[in-house]
Structure 1
Amino acid sequence: MDGRTNTEHDVRYTEQGPVDGGTYLLVHGLGGSLEQWSEIARQVGRSARVLAVDVPGFGRSRTATGAFDVGSAAAAIARFCAAKQVRDAVLVSHSVGCVMAAQVAALAPERFRRLVFVSGALVRASDLTQHPSRALRDPLLGLTVATQFLAGLIPVPHALLTAMARSATLRSALLRPFVADPRALAGDLLVETLTGAGSPAVLRVLFTAKAIAYDTMLRSVRQPVDLITGDSDRLITDEDRRLLRGLVDVHRDEVIAGCGHWPWLEHPAELATLLIRSGLDDDV
Structure 2
Amino acid sequence: MDRWSQTEDGVRYVEHGPVTGGTYVLVHGLGGSLEQWSEIVRRLGHSARVLAIDVPGFGRSRTATGAFDVEAAAATIARFCAAKQVHDSVLVSHSVGCVMAARVAALAPERFRRLVFVSGALVRASELTQHPGRALREPLLGLTVATQFLAGLLPIPRQLLTAMARSALLRSALLRPFVADPRSLDATLLVETLTGTGSPAVLRILFTAKAIAYDTMLRSVQQPVDLITGDADRLIADEDRQLVRALVRVERDVVIDDCGHWPWLEQPAELADLLIASGSGADD
Trace 1:83-122 onto structure 2 (pairs within 5 A). 83-122=83-122
Does structure 2 retain, via aligned residues, the 8 Å contact 1:119–1:227?
yes
Distance 2:283 2:152 in 1: 35
Count of residue pairs the alignment pairs up: 283
Q: What's the TM-score, normalizing by structure 2?
A: 0.99
Q: Which residue of 2 aligns with 1:44?
A: 44
Q: Percent identity?
A: 81
Does structure 1 retain, via aligned residues, the 8 Å contact 2:5–2:12?
yes
Q: CA RMSD in A?
A: 0.8
Distance 1:18 1:276 in 2: 14
AA aligned opposite 1:32: G
Moved segments of 4+, more than 6 Å:
none
Does structure 2 retain, via aligned residues, the 8 Å contact 1:40–1:268?
yes
The answer as to 2:68 corresponding to 1:68 is: yes
Does structure 1 retain, via aligned residues, the 8 Å contact 2:70–2:100?
yes
Q: Which residue of 1 aligns with 2:238?
A: 238
Trace 1:1-284 onto structure 2 (pairs within 5 A). 1=1, 3-8=2-7, 9-281=9-281
Shift of 1:10: 2.0
Distance 2:147 2:88 in 1: 36
Does structure 2 retain, via aligned residues, the 8 Å contact 1:251–1:283?
no
AA aligned opposite 2:270: E
Distance 1:256 1:45 in 2: 22
Which residues of structure 2 form unaligned runs of 5+? none
Does structure 1 retain, via aligned residues, the 8 Å contact 2:277–2:283?
no
Does structure 2 retain, via aligned residues, the 8 Å contact 1:10–1:76?
no
Distance 1:231 1:62 in 2: 32
Distance 2:168 2:18 in 1: 37
Shift of 1:62: 0.3
Does structure 1 retain, via aligned residues, the 8 Å contact 2:179–2:266?
yes
AA aligned opposite 1:14: V
Secondary structure, counterpart of 2:20 in structure 1: helix
Shift of 1:282: 6.5
Secondary structure, counterpart of 1:20 in structure 2: coil
